[in-house]
Amino acid sequence: MSLTEVYDVMKLSYNGLDRKEKQIFLDLACFFLGSHVRVNAGDLKYLLKEDENDDTIVVGLERLKDKALITSFDDNFVSMHDALQEMAWEIVHQESRKPGSSTWLLDPNDDVYKALKNDKCLCAIRSLRIHLPTTGKKKLIPGIFAEMSSRLQFLEISVENNDDLFDQVYPLAEELQFLETELRFLCWLHYPLKSLPENFSTDKLVILKLQHGRMEKLWEGLKV
């Protein structure tokens, strides 16, 4: 079977999914399976549900497994073949060409920076994973989280361990307070602040990982 035929078979399996199953597949391929944090199926059940009454995630994962789009192991973690992940990336790239439709932003490549700089409808973004280098001209524009606050659910930022860069991303970390209650996953490697912003919402937060940074306590005062 040629590579083209293999791709067609994989795409046929994907096209046979319903809307929610497609979203689960793309969330896995475009965010969680490339994350610094390994997320098991139990966590995914809470991370991916659309509301408190949504009990379709486990069924959706089983459906992906039955169609050979993912593999699960005895330790309850999910995996995906590289070719399937690349197909998912291509699907996302095709979708992102439609104005205002960028839902998953991929990293590490220039597409993330281009989308954040040029997309006038950042409010559609569901997940963002980005690496901030110590060199080059790639910078996130001020107020970026306020722009995408209404839908952003999954956020991972990795920053090189450099004092000068820490100072540059300090304002970005303070902007976490502008994210609304939809955020469920936050991983920030080399987080620059000593605590989370006072108004940072934890209403739906499932996973919080702030490693190798300046964190001393989660937040000032009491959180209710």
What confidence tens digit (pLDDT) does each residue in 36-49 have?
A: 888 999 999 999 99
pLDDT, tens digit (0-9, with 9 covering 90-100), for 146-200: 777 778 899 998 887 666 666 667 778 888 887 777 899 999 988 888 888 888 8
Q: What is the pLDDT of residues 2-21, one digit of tens each?
A: 767 777 888 999 999 999 99
- Inform me whether the pLDDT recorded for 122 exceeds 90: no
Q: What is the pLDDT of residue 134?
A: 47
Higher pLDDT, 69 or 108: 69
Bridge partners for 155 per DSSP = 128, 186
Give the DSSP per-residue string, 42-86.
Answer: HHHHHHS-SSTT---HHHHHHHHHHTTS-EE-TTSBEE--HHHHH
Domain covering 1-83 in this structure, CATH number: 1.10.10
Domains in the chain: boundaries = 1-83, 98-224
The helix/strand/coil state of 208 is: strand
CA neighbours within 13 Å on the CB side: how many for 58? Answer: 4
Using alpha carbons only, what angle is made at residue 63 by residues 58 and 67, rounded to the nearest 5 degrees? 150
Task: For the chain, give the percent of residues with pLDDT over 90.
Answer: 30
- What SS3 class is residue 26? helix
H/E element, 130 = strand 127-132
**Residue 51 pLDDT class (50, 70, 90 cuts):** confident
Tell me what the pLDDT averaged over the chain comes to: 81
The answer for residues whose C-beta is within 8 angstroms of residue 125's C-beta and 6 or more apart is 102, 103, 104, 105, 148, 151, 152
CA atoms of 198 and 109, how far apart (whole Å):
32
- Region class of 11: left (phi > 0), else alpha (psi between -120 and 50), else beta: alpha
Quick one: tokens of 186?
């936050």
pTM greater than the 0.95 cutoff: no
Yes or no: say if 163 and 190 are a contact pair by the CB < 8 Å rule: no
115 pLDDT band, cuts 50/70/90, is: low
Closest to 68 measured CA to CA, from 124, 109, 16, 140: 16
